[in-house]
Amino acid sequence: MGFLNFSNKDKQVENDALQQKLETFLNKLSQRADDLFQEVKANAQEIADTDPDLYKRNYYQFKAGIIAQFNAIIQKGSNTFHTQVAPSAGWNQQMILSELYNNWHTKVLSQMTGVFENIQERDLEKQYAEAMAEYEQIREKFHCKQCGAKLKLKKFYFIDTYIQCEFCLTQNNFDPGSKAKGIEMFVYPLASLRCHHLKEVHKAIYQEKGISAGLPSFERYAKSLIQEMDNILPGLEQHHQDFYNRLIHDYKSYGQSW
């Protein structure tokens, strides 16, 4: 059955029906584009971060697949409009139908071009190593502004902190540098990346056997996640432990979500 299915009704009724049919058709396609857009927004960053492949091939494959799906939606709308709708439209109707189609086209196109906009294709391990190297350099050069003694840091500081000189008791401001200050932002993504295999193991058990049977593997994953978070950013062990408790609590209450 074709897109058009009119009998010999009066022209105005036909025109209205054509417009309504186009609207319904484009709305359906928009709905698919919106769903796709939401799905990417919800998952793409994690897919990029947890791709264990050095060249991020899994992530690029995912990206190419999404772009292809957007393209297919645009093609479908475009073909239908140009081959079935536009040729059947009356002269007085062309403008309004074109406007409907153009607005739709612009919207889906901007979804396609913008959907990966804020996704960072970052190399977390490399960023972390750079931040730590910068931190080490700053820590090495940290001396008392009053007496010049080398100041020791007892733990990792990722924010500006006053450190007292043990010799002259002067308070010195320790500035860990902009990269180290950003470490907190990728503690969780980097830890997830390192524990990706355990998450996959858990995911398989969970999907096959459900929440209760999946609990031990989830605990194993969450423990190693916390361990990695402690390694990446030491000094926040209590904070990370609280995070662990919340993960387990949420898992028991709601199950796993991906």
What residue ranges bind Zn ion (CB under 5 A)?
144, 146-147, 149, 165, 167-168, 170
Residues in contact with 154: Cβ distance below 8 Å, sequence separation at least 6, in sequence order: none
Minimum gap (Å) between residue 138 Cβ and Zn ion:
18
Q: By C-beta, is 130 or 175 nearer to Zn ion?
A: 175
Minimum CB separation of residue 134 from Zn ion in Å reads 24
For residue 147, the minimal CB distance to Zn ion (Å) is 3
C-alpha pair distances (Å), 219 with each of 74, 242, 244, 256: 44, 14, 9, 12
Tell me whether residue 146 or residue 245 sits nearer to Zn ion (CB atom): 146
- Cβ-based nearer residue to Zn ion, 149 or 247: 149
How long a stretch of residues is the chain? 258
Q: How many CB atoms lie within 10 A of CB 38?
A: 11
Asked if 97 and 19 touch (Cβ cutoff 8 Å), the reply is yes
How far does Cα 169 stand from its chain's mean position? Answer: 47
| Identity of the residue, 59 or 142, whose beta carbon is nearer to Zn ion in the bound complex | 142
Question: Closest distance between Zn ion and the C-beta of residue 175, in Å?
Answer: 17
